[in-house]
Amino acid sequence: MGRIQLDHLTKRFGETVAVEDVTIDTEDGEFLILVGPSGCGKSTTLRMIAGLERPTDGDLYIDGDHMNYRVPQNRDIAMVFQDYALYPHMTVRENIRFGLEEEAGYTAAEMDDQVDATAADLGIVDLLDRKPGELSGGQQQRVALGRAIVRDPEVFLMDEPLANLDAKLRSQMRTELQQLQADLDVTTVYVTHNQTEAMTMGDRLAVLNDGRLQQVGEPLTLYHEPANQFVAGFIGEPMMNFLHGYADDETFIGSGLEYPFDDRLADAVGDTDELVLGVRPEAIDVRRADDATGEREPGSHEFRMQVAVSETHGDQNVVSMTVDDEETDHDTLRAVTDGMHVVTQGDSVVVTIDPDTIHVFDGETGETLCNRLLETKPEFTAVSSN
Amino acid sequence: MSQSTSRSPIDVESLVENFNYRRVGKYALVVLFLGFFLVPLETGIMTALKTNSAIARSLPFAPPAGEGFTLTNLEYAFSQLTNSFVNSLLMAVPATLLNVLLASMAAYGLTMVSWRGQLVVFALFLVGVFVPYQAVLVPLAQFWNNMFPLAQMLEPLFAAIPFLQGGHSRLVPLTITHVAYGIPICTVLFRSYYKSLPNSLVEAAKIDGASITKIYRRIVLPLSLPMFGVVFIYQFTQIYNEFLFSFTLITGANHPAAPVTLILPAIGSSTEGIDFGVRMSAAFLAALPTIILYVAFAEQFAKGLRTESG
């Protein structure tokens, strides 16, 4: 079936490098997500797999066959576009049927049956005789999916298919797409800039930035063991906190705060000067300074901070804090606290950061020097392998 | 007045005055232009409906009164133009249809299919838009008369068709000439329309496995129907009203294949002078087909354009 291999794939438009030296190997039936900010080359990569762009360099294989020079119709792929690209002058039935007409070995009756069966699967039988212009965004999305599914391709390519839907419909379609992909068991490459979509849907994620592949891996691997500062910042919502500073005698000196290293961190840092400390908002412990313990002198991994903004989400609160002094802009620290644990703007708080939860990045290259410790690691592998 | 000015710091009076001057100026200009365009037309229609003596005695733009009113001018002009109407339509309709179809294909190939050197070819099309007709008349006549006398070859064939004469074969080279010279501008029009179509439609069709010709036939052609309407109206008017090519290839008003534009200059003039009534009648009759086309279809096409894009 459809195993996709990208081998040092590069695409240049004139002087501009859109995709540089990307190597990814998917497994059969895998749901691979290409994720990254706008302009990172993820769509170009997808379009190269589709055959809409020709790679400047490198090789592309689908199912072991070299694809660089093959036109899209000979690649046995189907694609869902961001704007759905439904043919506006055709009915839904004709839209879905269009791709089938080019496949060999179908009689007219078989094609109609196939269309009806696909429409039934997607729950769009009622819409078959309408034109795309009369459909809502979600319905158009289903038709676009139907058009891809009906041809039973080796590979599905999806270019931000949920980007034009409203939030509620998007999360619903997310689930449906996952189910569909699991049912069909077709290799799928899915492009998105939305890290939530990427985390929740993919078997594996490939994070791209500036045309370069940053890291490929399972969602939790990327979350807990990012290869560099970019991946650490991109994956996770709210974003990982970054504290910029330098190392001095086994202590991190940031703006307005000092953080002594333990042995693990000191080893990882070695003699790197410029550092970025990363810590996930959910790993930060916040308590009011006027709690009973607030009176004593803060410990070595505790800081007094002031709440700048507190966002209420119901199940949790996202609290932004800065170091409490009059000086210029310090790095803001965001923490996720329990929903019932309310702090308000201007509150003085004590922040505790466990050294085990700290990621350290090289301040110049952004490379990871060390990732957080995971006591729960065996547990998470057991769950994810189910 | 003094109260109001003392109350508010804004000088209301001068604002109103400025505003009025501007408005008066604007309306004066509008009326002037309206008269400039409409009076000649009105004069023409009135003249067409007057007897010769009424034309001589009354003001040109005054409506015909009493015995000065007549329809004989129109009747006469119509009888003179009947054959040429047929000739004109026989030439202009196929020429326009062919023209629009070929131009849309060319624009598709130049816009939505990518191949090496297409910009150079498109540049040639652009050059074609600016070729002045006067510059090509002599070579054109030589080509159709000496190098490739298509009209002569087809003459027996046309002689065999009922209601037509052998001479009508000259409409064929004229039609081909119009097609050739009309393609560049129509291609440019279509190209701009195709540029505005979402690229993903063609890409989706490619991935669906459609060939270049199928994409054109099933996707691009149906989607460009409103543009077909627009370009058809435009190009039909061009070809129908064209004089120089007709004059060069058909030669004169006496030829059986003469289209309307060749008959018009000759109509109503004789040794006794010019019969203005007949002239004006003929002119308005000749303009009728294009006017009908505009009135009947322009609104529909505009509507079509709006719904397709919205």
Test B208 with A88 for CB contact under 8 angstroms: no
Same domain, A277 and A199: no
Taking the CA of residue A344 and the nearest CA in chain B, the distance in Å comes to: 48
pLDDT confidence of residue B67? 83
Rounded CA-CA distance B46/B63 in Å is 6
Q: Look at residues B154, B137, B158 and name the one whose alpha carbon lies nearest to residue B256.
A: B158
Query: Would you state the torsion angle of the CA atoms of residues A305, A311, A317, A318, taken in this order, to the nearest 10 degrees?
Result: -60
pLDDT confidence of residue A386? 41
H/E stretch holding A119: helix A108-122
**Residue B206 contacts A where some CB pair is shorter than 8 Å:** yes
Residue B100, both tokens: 């629009």
**Residue A78 contacts B where some CB pair is shorter than 8 Å:** yes
pLDDT above 90 for B253: no
Average pLDDT in the B163-177 region?
Answer: 90
Same domain, A111 and A14: yes
Q: Which amino acid is at A271?
A: D
**Residue B132 contacts A where some CB pair is shorter than 8 Å:** no
pLDDT confidence of residue B299? 72
Q: Are B214 and B229 in contact (CB under 8 A)?
A: no
Residue B125, both tokens: 């099309």
Chain B partners within 8 Å of A88 (Cβ)? 223, 308
Task: Please give the residue of chain B at the shortest CA–CA distance from A87.
Answer: B201
Residues 6+ apart with CB under 8 A from B201: A85, A87, B219, B223
What DSSP character marks residue A293? G
Burial grade of B18 (CB within 10 A; 0-12, 13-18, 19 or more):
exposed
Test A81 with B208 for CB contact under 8 angstroms: no
Chain B partners within 8 Å of A86 (Cβ)? 204
Most B CBs within 10 Å, among A73, A145, A157, to test the B interface = A73
Test A77 with B207 for CB contact under 8 angstroms: yes
Same domain, A210 and A260: no
Query: Which of A209, A230, A251 is where one domain is finished?
Result: A230
pLDDT confidence of residue A212? 93
Query: Which of A181, A196, A230 is where one domain is finished?
Result: A230
Q: Are B245 and B133 in contact (CB under 8 A)?
A: yes
Same domain, A198 and A287: no
Query: Which of A198, A230, A262 is where one domain is finished?
Result: A230
Test B200 with A103 for CB contact under 8 angstroms: no
Same domain, A94 and A70: yes
Taking the CA of residue B206 and the nearest CA in chain A, the distance in Å comes to: 6
Of B198, B209, B219, the CB nearest to A73: B209
Rounded CA-CA distance B147/B179 in Å is 19
Mean pLDDT of chain A: 87
Most A CBs within 10 Å, among B197, B201, B207, to test the A interface = B207
Res. B108 pLDDT band, cuts 50 70 90: very high
pLDDT above 70 for B221: yes
| 3-class DSSP string for A3-18 | CEEEEEEEEEECCEEE
Query: Distances in Å between the alpha carbon of B48 and those of A42, A290, B40, B82?
Result: 71, 102, 12, 18
Test B198 with A79 for CB contact under 8 angstroms: no
Of B201, B207, B211, the CB nearest to A87: B201
Q: Where are the alpha helices (DSSP H) in A281-337?
A: none
Same domain, A157 and A30: yes
More confident site: A323 or A117: A117
Same domain, A105 and A214: yes
Query: Distances in Å between the alpha carbon of B53 and those of B64, B68, B161, B276, B277?
Result: 11, 7, 45, 11, 10
pLDDT above 60 for A296: no
**Residue A102 contacts B where some CB pair is shorter than 8 Å:** yes
pLDDT above 70 for A381: no
Residue A74 DSSP SS3 = helix
Average pLDDT in the A271-299 region?
Answer: 78
Beta bridge partners of A362: A275
Q: Are A35 and A160 in contact (CB under 8 A)?
A: no
pLDDT confidence of residue A384? 45
pLDDT confidence of residue B8? 56
In CATH, what number is assigned to the domain containing residue A279?
Answer: 2.40.50.140
The domain total for chain A is 2
Q: Are A40 and A95 in contact (CB under 8 A)?
A: no
Burial grade of B139 (CB within 10 A; 0-12, 13-18, 19 or more):
exposed
Task: Please give the residue of chain A at the shortest CA–CA distance from B201.
Answer: A85
pLDDT confidence of residue B295? 84
Same domain, A226 and A247: no
Beta bridge partners of A62: A4, A65
For B64-107, the pLDDT digits (tens) are 888 888 888 899 999 989 999 999 999 999 999 999 999 999 99
| 3-class DSSP string for chain B | CHHHHHHCCCCHHHHHHHHHHHHHHHHHHHHHHHHHHHHHHHHHHHHHCECHHHHHHCCCCCCCCHHHECCHHHHHHHHHHHHHHHHHHHHHHHHHHHHHHHHHHHHHHHHCCCCCCHHHHHHHHHHHHCCCHHHHHHHHHHHHHHHCCHHHHHHHHHHHCCCCCHHHHHHHHHHHHHHHHHHHHHHHHHHHHHHHCCHHHHHHHHHCCCCHHHHHHHHHHHHCHHHHHHHHHHHHHHHHHCCHHHHHHHCCCCCCCCCHHHHCCCCCEECCEECHHHHHHHHHHHHHHHHHHHHHHHHHHHHHHHHHHC
Chain A partners within 8 Å of B308 (Cβ)? 88
Res. B59 pLDDT band, cuts 50 70 90: confident
Parent domain of A108 = 4-230
Of B205, B214, B223, the CB nearest to A89: B223
The domains found in chain B, sorted by start residue, are 2-68 (no CATH), 72-309 (1.10.3720.10)
Q: How many CB atoms lie within 10 A of CB B299?
A: 10
**β pairing state of A368-370 and A359-362:** antiparallel
Taking the CA of residue B218 and the nearest CA in chain A, the distance in Å comes to: 9
Residue position matching structure tokens 């029009």: B189
Taking the CA of residue B219 and the nearest CA in chain A, the distance in Å comes to: 7
Across A290-294, A340-344, B59-63, B270-274, least confident range: A290-294
Res. A90 pLDDT band, cuts 50 70 90: very high
Residues 6+ apart with CB under 8 A from B216: B105, B108
Same domain, A81 and A21: yes
Half-sphere exposure (Cβ direction) of A236: Cα atoms closer than 13 Å = 26
**Residue B205 contacts A where some CB pair is shorter than 8 Å:** yes
Chain B partners within 8 Å of A50 (Cβ)? 203, 207
Total length of chain B? 310
Beta bridge partners of B212: none
For B3-36, the pLDDT digits (tens) are 544 555 666 666 666 667 888 889 999 999 999 9
pLDDT confidence of residue B305? 59
Chain B partners within 8 Å of A51 (Cβ)? 206-207
H/E stretch holding A23: strand A16-25
Of B200, B211, B222, the CB nearest to A83: B200
pLDDT confidence of residue B293? 86
Q: Are B170 and B245 in contact (CB under 8 A)?
A: no
Average pLDDT in the A296-305 region?
Answer: 75
pLDDT confidence of residue B18? 63
H/E stretch holding A109: helix A108-122
Same domain, A160 and A246: no
In CATH, what number is assigned to the domain containing residue A75?
Answer: 3.40.50.300
For A324-376, the pLDDT digits (tens) are 666 666 778 899 988 887 888 888 888 888 888 999 999 889 899 888 887 65
Res. A295 pLDDT band, cuts 50 70 90: low
Taking the CA of residue B197 and the nearest CA in chain A, the distance in Å comes to: 11
pLDDT above 60 for A53: yes
Same domain, A107 and A170: yes
Res. A385 pLDDT band, cuts 50 70 90: very low
Q: Which amino acid is at A49?
A: I
Res. B166 pLDDT band, cuts 50 70 90: confident
Q: Are A193 and A36 in contact (CB under 8 A)?
A: yes
Average pLDDT in the A151-169 region?
Answer: 90
Test B206 with A99 for CB contact under 8 angstroms: no
**β pairing state of A359-362 and A348-353:** unpaired
Test A98 with B203 for CB contact under 8 angstroms: no
| pLDDT winner (highest mean) among A244-253, B18-27, B216-225 | B216-225
More confident site: A385 or A365: A365
pLDDT above 70 for A383: no
Taking the CA of residue A70 and the nearest CA in chain B, the distance in Å comes to: 12
Same domain, A80 and A168: yes
Residues 6+ apart with CB under 8 A from B23: none
Q: With a cut of 0.85, is the ipTM above it? A: no
